[in-house]
Amino acid sequence: MHGDIRDDWKINDIERKANEANGRLYELDSLRCDVDSLERENRSLSSTVDELRYELETLKEDMRQFREELAEQE
């Protein structure tokens, strides 16, 4: 009879570990979704930064040309 109780304990332990692992899979899937969302947001922010960098460079060039023209008029 002792073998039967030990088998029941082993089965219960295996079931408990399987349930814990199942819960961890849900957490991992949730984290994967969060990472995907952050990657999309990062790409969007990178695109915005690139646009701002381009605008800044354009403004710097415009200012340089303006100063040259102003210096020529003086």
Q: Is 43 helix (H, G, I), strand (E, B) or coil?
A: helix
The confidence score (pLDDT) of residue 43 equals: 97
pTM of the predicted structure, to 2 decimals: 0.60
Per-residue pLDDT of the chain (74 residues; tens, 9 = 90+): 456 888 899 999 999 999 999 989 989 999 999 999 999 999 999 999 999 999 999 999 999 999 999 999 98
Written as one letter, the residue type at 16 is R
The confidence score (pLDDT) of residue 3 equals: 65
Domain span at 21:
1-74
Number of domains in the chain: 1
